[in-house]
Chain A
Amino acid sequence: MIKTEKVLHLKSSRGRKVRVVREHYLRELVPCYSSLCQAESEGKVLSADVTHYVVPDAGVTRDFMEILEFREIQGLVFTQTACQAVQHSRGRRQYNRLRSLLKDPRHDCVLFANEFQEYSYCPREKGEPQDKWQTRCVYQAAVWYHDHLAGLKPVVMITEDQGAVAEYSSLNCGVYVLSTLEYLRTFWPELQAAHELYGSIAQALRERGNEGTEREFAEHLPAEVLEAGIKSGRYTQGTLNVNKHRAQHEAFVRFDGSSNKNSELDSDVLVWGGKNRNRAVHGDMVAVELLPKGEWRGRTTALTEGQGEEKGEESQGQPMPTGRVVGILQRNWRDYVVTFPPREETQSQGRNSLRILATPWDQRIPKIRISTHQADTLQDHRVIVRLDSWDSTSLYPNGHSVRVLGRAGELETEVQTILIENCIHIAPFSEAQLREMPASSPERPWTVDPAEVVTRRDLRDTHLVFSIDPRGCEDVDDTLSVRSLPPGPQGPRLELGVHIADVTHFVKEGTLTDLEARARATTYYLADRRYDMLPAVLSADVCSLLGGVDRYAMSVMWDLDAQTLQVNRVWYGRTLIRSSYQLYYEQAQALLNGEEAEVPELDHKLSHLIEALETLTQVARHLRAQRDQGGALELEGVEVRAQLDEDKNITALVPRQPLEVHETVAECMIYANHWVARKIQERFPQQALLRHHPPPRQEFFTQLQDSARALGFTIDTRSNKALADSLDQAVDPQDPLVNRLLRVMATQAMSNALYFSTGACPVDQYYHYGLALDRYTHFTSPIRRYADVIVHRLLTAAIAVEEGARPAKASASNKELEEMAQHINNKNRAAQHAQKVSMELFQCLYFRDKDPETAECCDAVIYAIRTNGVLVFIPQYGLKGALYLRNREGQVVRVSQDGRCVWEAGSLQRSLDHVSTTTASGTSTFRLFQHVTVRVSVQTSRCHADTLHLELVSNRAHRAPEPPDRTPRAAPPQGTRGRSQLVQEVVRQAEEALLQAEEKKGRVSELSKEEREFRQSKTPNLYSLLEEVREQALLDLTASARTCATSA
């Protein structure tokens, strides 16, 4: 090592300039991380099979990192100089992004510590400007790289500095200096996305220089002042939440627990108006200062249609703490989808027609100013945009466009929009990932490894294993078995087994597939398609426990007492199984009922199968009863059960109704999850991944209790048992919907179930409120949930420890696991939200194609009262919406004698259980749970998602002219059914339209074909999808809360 000295001029804490001398050690041996290099280097290496290596300079790394993030660009060498420049000028967020890029094995890039290399380091000369020096350093590094690899690879340095290009380009052969644009043109002419992105960033950079000087907002306070203020309690720290319906004015700051020193503030702080919000964007972490009490305001309680600001003061609630934003602690900007305005609007935007104000899809985000040349071509297109900055001199934030999604209103565009807005990034599985997969093709199916057979318990001959899944299901991740054992000392015994696909055998920790699955965290189900967590070869073939083939499994087997079902012994372990029967639900139920079913006879196993199904049903009923004792809540599918109790005749139901066998399977899975949770928590008390469902806060039940009281029911919410019992009693024999709506409201009052690491939570918070279990986790669906994969690994480690073997690798620490749990929770939330939004999208598409005049009238039930309207639930389509009783002109609805509704001037009276309108010609009243008839139409919106608009037609229940089973009284819960039909119809129409468009073009273009392949499941199996959702709803309450929200 050679010691040199660096002289720096730094600013001291008092603002004086200080001369600091730092040592700087140089060495010869600095790893270059290239696989061409002879020297051994550990960790990630650059692949040798690229045509060249790229060295971006400091400026390019700083400004154009988004382009470098393209996975197509390989052989990237970041220099230390460039990284430090990013760290200094762009702050930690950007730097962390660069760091994670360097760590991600999917990107072919490395960091070269050029300043510590003896020959590539060049000291800064006296009076040399910093950027010149940085460019020189990077060039020197590029030259060294080229020489170090003995000229085997050409090295390309990219810079934005034209002077540098001129100065250096001819100095060395083999080292090329290009500008970014030239580089992209020369090497990546086909990477259109990168070119567009480059254009938009460059444009944004150019525009940033010439800003106006007029100040629109107060300056943010410096970070030290904010920190001191938060410590002293003068400012409060929290996350900004913008009210979706009044995005212009209302925002709330929610505290993050610990930081709240101001104990008298227990509610959120209201931030009213744009000036007070001071450039904070939804999701940012901000510091707020409270305003004097005299300026406090209340939140608005009236229903608005997004444009209702004229409502005035009268509809305000209680004054609440109000404040203004004084500084932003952490920006939380993500990618936003915006819509470019049509041409006439662009021109009206002042002299500089290059700048465009685009409206984000998310109403909570302010308009974004974008500089672009493509304004004309991009009219009415949806585009992904990133925010760059928001100066105090500007009314709107500046951004640049990243990628064009497509024309607004097209199905594909809208679905992509939903994905982006929920931060779901799904690229198709890469070559490298697919290479890790075991080979399996129809000609040469995958077979078990004899070496593996020895280590596993072989259940192929001893157990009758079968699966029950939705019809046409490809990814079977759970199978069941049950058999009687020789009687023990206490009497006859049963052996119940749950066998889950052994995904962790194929997906080893740390592999590319594992990383990808971890990033996705779950399989995403949208209304018309799904995005798998694992590649299809695993999820639909090698891991899937298909009938008649040998498969690896993770099993839990209980040795039960046949009478009392007491657990004598539990066995956990890896097994080898061959599923004998792959049943679907209807088939299994038919077998149970002793009906004819098309089940092939296999080695006289059929009678055994029926016997096993019966035993299984018995066991499941027993388990269910046990949980009911504990207070398990039933939140969906309740009417089905009620009908079962009444006539016990399942064939009388609509075929797609939930069957008892659904519950049987679900109950077995809950049982398996529960026992695995117990096992891993016992073995790893500090680092097991469990799932808990915290008890809801009592105040959230107010609406439910009020609504129930209006009908004369009382709801006891003190415990989950009390709640379950009182919900069971709250049945109106006249109207089955009442109970369903009450249950939906109960579900809404609850929080979501969440994953957590046992070390991060006290033991008394492990409880699962909805399932009434003291420990719970997810173990049974590793093909579509990453949490289950982690649990599988934990269980394997637990078994290994018990057998005395030391675990091969230390399992994740509590902290890592907790971070992982947070990540999975976030992704799950995003997945559910995306699913919900996509369902709404399809509803809108469905109604859009209807003629508004002849639009179907349908039945709706009022379930909540607001100041200027009511909230209704439409059982036929399973959707909820607001029904306005007063329009913007101040007119109210009056119901005439024959039930027709007219708008007239009048007033509106709201009370707890009804709302009445008074006009000159009379009064009409709307009560809770009253049936009314509404007409559904679509309110189109150019920039945002379309919304459904409801219009009151009559205050009586809708009598459809159709067959009697469609009338509301007799209507079974058609939510799911109505929705599935709706989705099918929309998909069909969209595909027809697509085909027509293609025919018009006269040829089938390559691109659209690829696009359709990219959609993975071209003809989605809707039935399996919806069953999946339903099953999830039974398994845990998060899902049920969400499905209710969409279905009810």
Chain B
Amino acid sequence: MAGVELLSDQGYRLDGRKATELRKVQARMGVFAQADGSAYIEQGNTKALAVVYGPHEVRMSRSKTLHDRAVINCQYSMATFSTAERKRRPHGDRKSTEMSLHLKQTFEAAVLTNLYPRSQIDIYVKILQSDGGNYSACVNAATLAVIDAGIPMRDYVCACTAGFVDETPLADLCHAEESGGGTSLALALLPRGGHIALLQMDARLHQDHLETLMEAAMTACKGVSKVLDQVVRQHLQEVSALTGE
């Protein structure tokens, strides 16, 4: 796709955003009553649903039990209708296993697991519509769901992607930009302390540029965290109004 110009001379991206602007983020918490915690998020056209169960006692094989902290079990899946071409997506394919693993690592770093020894927390995430930045949408949705479930965390985990085009870092890539062949870096951040929970990049990038790219991704994550914080506060207000406190 050499012909597509990802960043115009005037500084606009394909969808009309500037380099540092995020896509529109909308989120709701507590979408399902049955689960312990749940959340729905839209980041542009990427839509994700996250559900959290637990903490409860370990239901998998007993040997997995950890005596000092809780086990986090993550499962990632994509709906068959999430992409432009309908595709059957069997469970346990390589991509989703890898994504599950990334999510698990991310939340092990964020959730205060040592408060719940010998127990298990399940996080299920489903991508309903995919338009780039699947990982970050999942992380953000799961964060809201975990908060909804009332499980203590060190901080919000906010994730965002960043790419690099014509010497300029671009925040929050959409699908067209991701498939354009450039670099894409996914970063999950604990914004208050500035700790990085996960950093992942597959493409090649000159090491001089890594610093600026990470900087851009972290700024974007902080932007996401502001939105999430607002969503949580609003949800709390609604809930407390309902319960009459």
Contact = CB atoms under 8 A, between A and B. Distances in A.
Interface of A: 1, 3, 5, 12, 16, 18-27, 31, 80, 87, 92, 99, 102-103, 111, 113, 115-116
A18 to B, nearest CB: 5
B9 interface: yes
Contact of B176 (A18, A22, A92): A22
Contacts of B84: 12, 18-20
Nearest to A6: B15
Given A18-B84, A116-B16, A99 B9 contact: yes
Contacts of A80: 8
B12 A87 contact: no
Contacts of B15: 22-25
Contacts of B23: 3, 23
Interface string B1-42: 001010011101011110001011000000000000000000
A23 B12 contact: no
A23 B85 contact: no
Nearest to A20: B84
Contacts of A111: 9-10
B9 A25 contact: no
Which of A23, A25, A31 is packed against the most chain B CB atoms within 10 Å? A23
Contacts of A116: 12, 16
Contacts of A87: 3, 5
A22 B14 contact: yes
B187 interface: no
Contacts of B131: 21, 23
Contacts of A24: 15-16
A12 B86 CA distance: 13
A5 B45 contact: yes
A21 B81 CA distance: 13
B44 interface: yes
Interface of B: 3, 5, 8-10, 12, 14-17, 21, 23-24, 44-45, 84-85, 131, 174, 176
Nearest to B44: A23
Contacts of A18: 84-85
B24 to A, nearest CB: 5
A393 B21 CA distance: 50
Q: Is chain B's interface secondary structure helix, strand, loop, or mixed overall?
A: loop
Q: Which 8 A-B pairs have the closest CB atoms?
A: A116-B16, A25-B16, A3-B24, A23-B15, A18-B84, A23-B44, A25-B17, A113-B12
A99 B9 CA distance: 8
Contacts of A25: 15-17, 21, 24
Which of B3, B15, B174 is packed against the most chain A CB atoms within 10 Å? B15
Contact of B16 (A12, A31, A102, A115): A115
B8 A113 contact: yes
Contacts of B174: 22-23
Contacts of A3: 23-24, 44
Contacts of B85: 12, 16, 18
Contacts of A21: 45, 131
Contacts of A22: 14-15, 45, 174, 176
Nearest to A43: B10
Contacts of A103: 9
B82 to A, nearest CB: 12
A81 to B, nearest CB: 13
Contact of B21 (A1, A12, A26): A1
Which of A3, A5, A16 is packed against the most chain B CB atoms within 10 Å? A3
B193 to A, nearest CB: 30
Given A3-B24, A18-B85, A116-B16, A23 B45 contact: yes
A87 B4 CA distance: 9
Contacts of A5: 45
Nearest to A26: B16
A426 to B, nearest CB: 28
A21 B44 CA distance: 11
Contacts of B16: 1, 24-27, 113, 115-116
A572 B23 CA distance: 55
A836 B7 CA distance: 45
Contacts of B176: 22
Contacts of B24: 1, 3, 23, 25
A19 B129 CA distance: 13
A813 to B, nearest CB: 11
Given A22-B14, A23-B45, A103-B9, 14 more contacts: A1-B17, A1-B21, A3-B24, A3-B44, A12-B84, A12-B85, A18-B85, A22-B15, A25-B16, A25-B21, A80-B8, A87-B5, A113-B8, A113-B12
Contact of B9 (A19, A20, A102, A115): A102
Which of A16, A22, A80, A99 is packed against the most chain B CB atoms within 10 Å? A22
A115 B12 CA distance: 11
Nearest to B129: A21
B229 to A, nearest CB: 20
A537 B58 CA distance: 89
A103 B8 CA distance: 12
A686 B176 CA distance: 36
Nearest to A91: B3
Contacts of A102: 9
Nearest to B132: A23
A18 B83 CA distance: 10
A613 B44 CA distance: 79
B28 to A, nearest CB: 17
A674 to B, nearest CB: 34
A95 to B, nearest CB: 8
Contacts of B9: 99, 102-103, 111
Contacts of B14: 22
B65 to A, nearest CB: 45
A16 B12 CA distance: 30
A20 B84 CA distance: 6
Nearest to A2: B24
A814 to B, nearest CB: 14
Contacts of B21: 1, 25
22 contacts: A3-B23, A12-B85, A18-B84, A20-B84, A21-B45, A21-B131, A22-B14, A23-B15, A23-B24, A23-B44, A23-B45, A23-B174, A24-B16, A25-B16, A25-B21, A25-B24, A27-B16, A92-B3, A102-B9, A103-B9, A115-B16, A116-B12
Nearest to B26: A3
Contacts of B8: 80, 113
A16 B9 CA distance: 32
Contacts of B3: 87, 92
A102 B5 CA distance: 16
A12 B8 CA distance: 24
Nearest to A112: B10
A22 B129 CA distance: 12
A22 B17 CA distance: 13
A853 to B, nearest CB: 64
Nearest to B24: A3
B45 A113 contact: no
Contacts of B17: 1, 25
Nearest to B174: A23
A247 B23 CA distance: 58
B44 A113 contact: no
B126 to A, nearest CB: 19
Contacts of A12: 84-85
B206 to A, nearest CB: 13
A43 B4 CA distance: 24
A103 B21 CA distance: 25
Nearest to B3: A92
A529 B15 CA distance: 53
A25 B22 CA distance: 11
Nearest to B46: A23
Nearest to B176: A22
Contacts of A20: 84
A285 to B, nearest CB: 16
Nearest to A88: B3
Nearest to A116: B16
A23 B44 CA distance: 7
A569 to B, nearest CB: 38
